[in-house]
Each structure stands twice: as C-alpha cells, then as structure tokens.
Amino acid sequence: MSAEQEREVAEASATLERALIEVKKVVVGQDTMVERMMVGLLARGHILLEGVPGVAKTLAVRTLADVVGGSFSRLQFTPDLMPGDITGTRVWRASSETFDVELGPIFANLVLADEINRAPAKVQSALLEAMAEKQVSIAGKSHPLPDPFLVLATQNPVESEGVYRLPEAQRDRFLLKVDVPYPTGQEEFTILHRMSVNPPRAEAVLSPQEIIRLQGVADGLFVHHSVASYLVNLTIATRSPERYGLPHLRSAIELGVSPRASLGMLAAGRALALLRGRSYVLPSDVAEVASDVMSHRLLLSFDAVADGADARAIVREVVAAVPQPSVATREDPDGHKNGYHATQPLPVSGGYAGEHVGP
C-alpha cells in the first residue's frame, strides 16, 4: 500500500475507535457484541443478536444508531404482524381518487428487528427481500432502501410460545450471529452505578456519508492469496470434514456452509482488520470471525440436534483442525509496514489452494 493509503487507513481506524468509545459510554461490557456490530456496518452485513432478555441487545443497537447518525427505526415483531406493517402499503386517497404508496419503517439506515423469531412466514419473506436485495416491492414496483442499510435483529433463545424458527434462507442472510452472554459481576456493578439514575447518552460521531467512505476503505484492505486459501479451506472443511482429519463430524453435519460464508469471512475479516488499525488481513482475523459467520449457517443432522450438539463448538473444532498460513509483516525503507508475505506455503493436503484475492 502507498503511504497515502496507509494514512487513510490510520485515520479511518481512529474515527472508528472514537465511535466505539462513544458506544461504550452507554453499553457496559459486551465488547465482542459492540465490535461485531461495527464489523457488520463496515462489511455491509446484517447481524443477528441472540441472548436472554435484559443483556443490553436493544440498548446496544439504539446506541449504535445514535453514534452512526442517519435514520433509525425499531420494529417490534409479534405473531400478528403483517408484511405491510414493515414494508409499507398502498393507501387510497379519496381527495385525489388515487392510490399513494406509504413507505414502511423498514426504510431507515439502521433497523432494529426486535424479537425477530416472533414473526410469521409472510413477514420473514418480506424482510428477506429487503435484507438480500436492499429493496422493497409494493404493488409491483420496487423501492430502493437507503444507503447504508443494516438490519440488527434480536431473538430470545429460551422462549418457545409464539415463536417461529427462522428459516434457513433467512439465517443465511445474516452475516454474523452473535451470542450475547450475561455480564460479569463487576460489569453488573458498573451497570447499577451508571444506568440507575440519569443514564448517559451517546453523541453522534459518524454520518451515513462517513460510513459509506469507511466501507470503501475496508474494501481496499489487502488480502494475501494464502489468507484467501485459508478461509476457503475453512468452508470446505464443513462440507468434507474427513479430508481435514475430522471424520466424526460427517454424521453431525447435514449440510456445510455455502460460498456466502467465504464471502462473509472475507468482508468481516477486512472490517475487523480496519478496526484494529491494519491495512491488511491476517489469518487470525478470519479465525476470529469464523464462528460468528459460519455457526448459524451449519445445518446439523437430526441425531446431532437430538444429542445437543453445538454448532459453535463444531466450528471451533474445524478452525482448530485447518492450519493457518504463517505470515510476517515487512517494512519499507521508510519504516512503514507494507502488508505482509507468506513465510510458509499454505498446507493444502485435502484442501484447496485459493486464487489471488485483493490488490
């Protein structure tokens, strides 16, 4: 990368750090969730937050919307919700004797889909078009959604009454699925101190135009072909685990992840590298986001589900089995870090050697 590009990356990283600090003024702990939300924003990928009630899922999304700026809407999903309630519908105007289109709350930069698994199939279908195509069809006409557009959905994993399981196609549209745990004892003490009276409010640091610019910076980060090969091997390992020394996973995995997982790990790896202030993606970036990108895309067998198998544990096993390429940073004569090179060929026994990705 040139010195100018390196400066652009450094400035973008500093801006993102200020945004994260502003979010953490309100959200106590949950550092992984906050970081992954920013990754999804930079990678143009929707995020599914799963956790029990009261662990700051909704608060984190609202706070991110305050920091990012732009328009924000919250959709509270219920079993009686209709597609038109979120996408919009045609309204008869008696004064002009014509139908006008009233756009729904989905037309916002950040959309909070609260308790998304309470919505019936028709609503899920309408939301699927918005998430996948970034447009909504009303009365045969397509209406583009604003840019940037991000859906942050929450769901409660322990409730069963009035809950619809998300279909596979719907889950596959989420770039990341983030499990939100309980806070630690010290974090809960801080929550009592900070949020019980006069809770803080985050200030806007970014704007929609700034987010689009930062997304472009993330797109330009360097990805070595060995890193691309590594993430392809991770996805292949979920389809043919026996080729990577994991024959016992063959009976547990009904269907491995699709190529969308490879694209997701590449985009999320670039976004994570930018947050860390680097102009290049390391294999560790890919390994760090692999579980959040792949776990919800794995289709486990009936026997594995009956035995209580955990998709995240399976992904962690896959990540541990696929060797990472060894890389080392190099510096130019001026002392600037200038990408990196592979110091050891990527082992591809039973895997696939990827083609060059990136500049």
Task: Specify if 100 maps to a domain.
Answer: no
Query: How wide is the angle at C-alpha 281 spanned by C-alphas 277 and 285, nearest 5°?
Result: 90
Same-domain check for residues 309 and 191: no
- Partner residues linked to 49 by β-bridges: 154, 178
Mark whether 268 and 325 lie in a shared domain.
Answer: yes
Residue 181 domain-assigned?
Answer: yes
**Residue at 172 is within a domain:** yes
pLDDT level of residue 329 (50, 70, 90 thresholds): low
Based on the fold, state whether residues 40 and 130 are members of the same structural domain: yes
143-158 in b/e burial notation, b at 16+ Cβ within 10 A? Answer: bebeebbbbbbbbbee
Query: 206 and 311 share a domain?
Result: no
Per-residue pLDDT tens for 102-138? 888 899 999 998 888 888 878 877 787 788 888 888 8
| pLDDT class of 316 with cuts at 50, 70, 90 | very high
Position 314 scores a pLDDT of 93
Give the domain extent around 262.
220-342
Task: Tell me the one-letter amino acid at 223.
Answer: V
Task: Say whether both 225 and 122 belong to one domain.
Answer: no
pLDDT, residue 327, reads 67
Q: Are residues 239 and 162 in the same domain?
A: no
> Which residue(s) pair with 143 in the sheet?
136
Compute the residue count for the chain. Answer: 359
Q: How far is CA 262 from the centre of its chain?
A: 13
Evaluate whether residue 300 is within a structural domain.
yes
208 with 230, same domain: the answer is: no
Confidence of residue 38 (pLDDT cuts 50, 70, 90): very high
Whether residue 150 sits in one domain with residue 10: yes
Domain boundary among 166, 195, 214: 214
Q: Domain count for the chain, please give it.
A: 2
Q: Both 163 and 240 in a single domain?
A: no
Q: What is the DSSP string of 131-190?
A: HHHSEEEETTEEEEPPSS-EEEEEE-SS--TT--PPPHHHHHTEEEEEE--PPPHHHHHH
Structure tokens at 165: 């399981």
Q: Which of 127-141, 210-224, 237-251 has the lowest mean pLDDT?
A: 127-141
- CB of 59 closer than 8 Å to CB of 25: no
Domain boundary among 214, 243, 271: 214
Q: Is 257 in a helix, a strand, or coil?
A: coil
- The CATH number of the domain holding residue 44 is 3.40.50.300
Residues 179, 234, single domain; the answer is: no
Rounded-to-10 torsion of CA 221, 225, 226, 232? 90
CATH number for position 230? 1.10.8.80
In a domain, 45, yes or no: yes
In a domain, 89, yes or no: no
Helices (H) and strands (E) in the chain, counts: 13, 13
Asked whether residue 30 falls in the same domain as residue 165, the answer is yes
Last residue of a domain, one of 174, 189, 214: 214
**β-pairing, 253-255 with 299-300?**
antiparallel
Rounded Cα–Cα distance for residues 156 and 142 (Å):
32
The reported pTM is 0.83
Residues 188 and 225 in one domain: no
How confident is the model over 161-192, as pLDDT tens digits?
667 777 777 788 899 999 888 888 888 888 88
Question: Per the domain annotation, does 357 fall within a domain?
Answer: no
